[in-house]
Structure 1
Amino acid sequence: MKLAIPNANGFVKQHFGKSKEFIIFDISDREIKGHKLLSTAPFQHNYEELAKLLVREGVDTLILGSAGLRAIQILQQHGLKVITGASGSVREAAIAYARGAHLRHTPFNSVNPKHVLSR
């Protein structure tokens, strides 16, 4: 499986829409087998194209800090599993997920109310 996490100097980027890069982790047998940095700067707030790019890269799961309702819906429409509410180290989040840590897969557990109310 491939897991993508928005990166900001090694930490989970808290504003998904402003993410300029993601780290994509290859996970197998509950271990990280590899990773790569993917630049997504041209796709800030362009959720449709970002979702397409992540799918082309083979990503099936995203771990995010917060995201607006519209972004989550678009990502899910492209078949991506979205987990929100993450913070701290990108690598530690990936390791925890790989080892089976219980992360909530509730698409609205960390929706940014500003995004919901402004639409």
Structure 2
Amino acid sequence: MKVAVTYEKETGNVFQHFGKTQYFKIYQIEDGKILSSEVIDNGGNGHHAIPPYLKSLGVETLILGNRGQGAIEAIAASGLKEMPGITGSADEAAELFAKGQLKPNFEAKCVHHGEHHQ
């Protein structure tokens, strides 16, 4: 299965504002283990176009930080499973996901667009 994580290249952490994500780290996970990973850009897509773009790459699950209502709807419409509210290392989040131990926080939402999220 392919899993995408919103990715902050400078820190290796889960990027916290879905709609402004420039990069994703894509993991190939099988039998509870990460087989490979690669960093890709957002394909020139933003906000509502990102979920269908990821789906077209074969991604099934999206691990992310915060997202606004429009992103929530776009993710659902694309058929991606989401794991929101994740912070810290993207690699650690992917490892926890592979083991079935990643706990999403569905309350994680952007409510103040126009500001930069840290």
Return the letter of the residue paired with 1:5: V
Task: Give the corresponding residue for 2:33.
Answer: 31
Residues 1:43 and 2:45 are matched in the alignment: yes
Runs of 4+ in structure 1 off by over 6 angstroms are none
Instruction: Report matched runs for 1:2-17 at 5 Å.
Output: 2-9=2-9, 10-17=12-19
Q: Distance in 2 between matches of 1:19 and 1:91?
A: 17
Alpha-carbon shift at residue 103 of structure 1 (Å) = 1.5
Contact 2:2–2:26 (CA<8 Å) still a contact in 1?
yes
Gaps of 5+ in 1: none
Alpha-carbon shift at residue 105 of structure 1 (Å) = 6.7
TM-score, scaled to structure 1: 0.86
Aligned length: 111
Task: Give the corresponding residue for 1:111.
Answer: 109
Gaps of 5+ in 2: 114-118
SS of alignment partner, residue 65 of structure 1: coil
Contact 1:19–1:41 (CA<8 Å) still a contact in 2?
no
Q: Distance in 1 between matches of 2:54 and 2:104?
A: 21
SS of alignment partner, residue 53 of structure 2: helix
Task: Give the corresponding residue for 2:93.
Answer: 93
What is the root-mean-square deviation in Å for CA atoms of aligned residues? Answer: 1.4
Return the letter of the residue paired with 1:94: A
SS of alignment partner, residue 82 of structure 2: strand
